[in-house]
Amino acid sequence: MGLTSETTVYVMAALAAVCVGLLVWSWPRFARQGLRQVLGRLLAIGTTQVVMIAAFACWLNSSYQFFGSWGELFGRVETAPVGVTQAGDDGGTGTVNGAAVKGAPVQPAGDEQLSRVSGLPTGPAAVNGRVESVKVIGRRTGVVDPAFVYLPPQYFQKAYQRQRFPVIVALSGYPGSIFNLAQHLRVSQTAGALQKSGLMQPTVMVMIRPTIAPPRDTECVNVPGGPQTETFLARDLPDALKSAYRVGHDASAWGVMGYSSGGSCALQLTMRDPHVYTTAAALSPDYRVKDDPTTGSLFGSGPDRTERMNGHDLMWRLKHLPVPQVSVLVAESKHGERGYPQTQAFIKAVKAPMRVASILPEHGSHNFPTWVQEVPPALKWMNQQLTFPQDAVPRHHKKGAAVAEPTPTATMRR
């Protein structure tokens, strides 16, 4: 039984009901005086409570996909096999539609609960677009991470067959999953509706989790001697996507967004790696990475620890380091979320050439209903920052010469 399957939930619920029934049936026997009876009462109550909590946890995890498998729950993470470091020989223009070459950095994956997501495009891909379930294999880090990739209708249309597309990477919070991004945050559904209505240019949306070593929260940090999350998201992921999809190669076509710790990660990546991501939208983020019980020691020890910590303190970076030429959006509710003062301080600290925008509703909470309201304006804002790639996929002739196709500029936005 899979951790997220309905069978597991039903079995745990039935087991909890049996424990409650046994407790009621056996209670008269434990009502007598004596040490054995007292210990029996404590054991019966404790066992029943543990099973009930486990049943509730299984239901909650099945609904929100915090952990996708038993292996993730107990820290057993899939790693890449040796030799999966090379892309195909197609010049980086192939797709994973149908059958990827063995060892490619982006490969077709299992369902990953995609079938449970409502509102996904159906019918002809050239009319409605498509969402693919894939796994991304990090060439440098050896990380294997599941992802959902939304491809807009134009991606499959003849007029765009040699055109590259801008990319927005959407990151889940901790210990969230790509299911949360697709079902609860409705990233691809919202982007598809905006693009269909002309409020957003055709854009590839990549939904991925930054939790590459579950159950540990690595906060998009390259942990000394541990998971290299920043390298995976800032180097492995873009390289993999560029090798498998027709996406822009210049940073001006790349943005990253996220909620909660995923929003913190989006800011970190954009300010620390502006040569990769030039635009970020952060919903309810933190502005400084610090150790806590879920992260363990993120910065190691020794004389370089303070320097590494400062490097992930965005307020410190704005004060002491050159400001990158990037655009960021931050969202925080004035009432109902605790991070509003820190968000205001961050906004005031930003200086040219960096640009900052904000979504500051009067009321909200640190939850999906609030973030769902913020996603449409965040995506429309990102659309205005990202450029539609003007580089076309080269057409290879028999003698090896490459000729770029004309760009179909009639329907593009810069």
Give the pLDDT confidence score for residue 67 in this predicted structure: 60
Give the pLDDT confidence score for residue 79 in this predicted structure: 43
CB 148 within 8 A of CB 112: yes
Query: What string of DSSP letters covers 274-297?
Result: TTT--EEEEES--SB----TTT--
State if pTM tops 0.85. Answer: no
Q: Which has the closest alpha carbon to 295: 216, 401, 393, 392?
A: 216
How far is residue 6's CA from residue 270's CA, in Å, rounded to a whole number?
39
CA distances from 372 to 150, 185, 327 (A): 18, 5, 21
Give the pLDDT confidence score for residue 2 in this predicted structure: 63
Contacts of 348 (CB under 8 A, 6+ apart): none
168: tokens are 């927005």
Residuewise pLDDT in 10s, the chain (414 residues): 666 667 877 788 888 888 888 888 877 877 777 787 778 778 888 888 888 888 777 766 665 555 655 655 655 544 443 332 223 333 333 344 433 334 799 999 988 789 999 999 999 999 999 999 999 999 999 999 999 999 999 999 999 999 999 999 999 999 889 999 999 999 999 999 999 999 999 999 999 999 999 889 999 999 999 999 999 999 999 999 999 999 999 999 999 999 999 999 999 999 999 999 999 999 999 999 999 999 999 999 989 999 999 999 999 999 999 999 999 999 999 999 999 999 999 999 999 999 999 999 999 999 999 999 999 999 999 999 999 887 677 765 444 443 344 333 333 333
Q: Helices 187-196 and 368-385 meet at what angle, rounded to 10?
A: 50
Strand-pairing partners, residue 282, are: 258, 330
First-last CA distance in the chain: 50
Give the pLDDT confidence score for residue 82 in this predicted structure: 30
How far is residue 3's CA from residue 72's CA, in Å, rounded to a whole number?
10
Q: Is the dihedral of CA 283, 286, 291, 293 positive or negative?
A: negative
67: tokens are 């952990």
Contacts of 84 (CB under 8 A, 6+ apart): 103, 104, 105, 137, 139
